[in-house]
Amino acid sequence: MNVGGNELVVASDHELARLAAVAAGRALMALRDEIGFDDPKRLRDEGDRTAHVLLMQLLAEQRPDDAVLSEEGLDGKERLGSRRVWIVDPLDGTREFGEAGRTDWAVHVALIEDGVPVAAAVALPARDMVMTTSPPESRPQREPGRLRLVVSRSHTPPEAVVVAQELDAELVYMGSAGAKTMAVVLGDADAYVHVGGQYEWDSAAPVGVALAAGLRATRVDGSPLRYNRENPWLPDQIVCRPDLHDAIVSAVRTAATTQH
C-alpha cells in the first residue's frame, strides 16, 4: 500500500484483510455518490468492477505469492495447488448496493489455509463498520424475547420457514450473505440458515469472522465448512449462537423430511 509516497508492506494477514475490505468499501461509497441511483444497472456494474480491480491490485501488491479467488474473476483453478488462497467477494449484495438507503451489502476478504479461513474481514460500508478476525468481535448478551432467524429477502428457503416454526423464531429478511452473517455476529439476530446454495466467496470471510467471534458455523448437517475446493459451490450453511446449533441441525433435518 502506498502511504506518504512510500510502499508499505502490511505484515499481518488480519490487518491486510481489514484494510482491503475498508478500501473497497470506501471506493464503493464514492461510486454511490458519484453515479447516484437513477441508473442502478450502471451503478451495480461499476461497483462490481471497481471493487474487484482494487482488491486484485492490492492483493497482488501485498501478497504476490498467494492465489486469489474472486467472484468477479476467472477461475483457472491454479489456486488448487496453493496452500494460501484469498477468497474475496468485492461486492456482496449487488442488488442492495444499487438501491438508495439500503445498508445490507458488504465487502468480503478472507485468507484460506488448508481449507479453513485463518484471517478475514467483512466491511459494511454503508454502516461505516468492519468486522475482523483479529481482534475478534465480542458478541453482546442476548436480549430476552423470541429468537430471530435471518434469511434472504429475495429467496426464503422452505426449510428456513420450518426451522423458524420449530424454534418459534421470528424471520428477519436481509440482503447480502455478509450482512446476514454479521447480524448474528453483532447480536441483531440469533442464527442464519441458508439452504439452496451459494458460492465460497459469499461465505468464506463472514464465516471466518463468525468463528473468530465464537459462533458456530457449519453445513446444515453439522459437518465442517471447507473452502478452496475444486468446485466453489457451497450448498448450505448454518451460522448461529453455539447453544442453538444442535436444535437448528435437528430442525433442518425435520424440514428436509417435511419437504420430501
Domain borders along the chain are 2-132, 147-259
| Domain 147-259, architecture per CATH | 3-Layer(aba) Sandwich (3.40)
Q: How far apart are CA 160 and CA 171, in angstroms?
A: 9
The answer to whether 55 touches 66, Cβ cutoff 8 Å, is no
Name the residue among 136, 129, 135, 131 with its Cα closest to residue 121.
Answer: 131
Of residues 130, 170, 165, 127, the one with CA closest to residue 146:
170
Return the minimum-mean-pLDDT range out of 131-135, 138-142, 145-149, 197-201.
Answer: 138-142
96 has pLDDT over 90: yes
121 touches 130 (CB < 8 A): yes
With vertex at residue 96, the alpha carbon angle to CA 150 and CA 138, rounded to the nearest 5 degrees, is 45
Kindly state the greatest CA–CA separation across the chain: 62
Region of poorest pLDDT, from 32-46, 144-158, 160-174, 224-238: 144-158
What pLDDT, on the 0 to 100 scale, is given for residue 3? Answer: 40
Instruction: Write the pLDDT tens digit of every residue in 1-59.
Output: 554 344 788 999 999 999 999 999 999 999 999 999 999 999 999 999 999 999 999 99
| Arithmetic mean of pLDDT, 170-181 | 95
Tell me: pLDDT of 181 over 90: yes
- Arithmetic mean of pLDDT, 224-242: 96
The whole-chain average pLDDT of the chain stands at 93
Q: What percent of the chain has pLDDT over 70?
A: 97
Q: DSSP string of 29-80?
A: HHHHHHH-SSSHHHHHHHHHHHHHHHHHHHHHHH-TTSEEEETTS---SGGG
Q: Measuring CA to CA, which residue among 238, 217, 196, 195 is closest to residue 116?
A: 217
Q: What is the pLDDT of residue 259?
A: 64
> Which of 14-18, 35-39, 70-74, 209-213 has the least mean pLDDT?
70-74
Residue 242: asked if its preceding bond is cis (omega within 30°), the reply is no
Mean of the pLDDT values across residues 199-214? Answer: 98
- Assign domain 2-132 one CATH number from 1.10.10.10, 3.30.540.10, 3.10.580.10, 2.60.40.10: 3.30.540.10
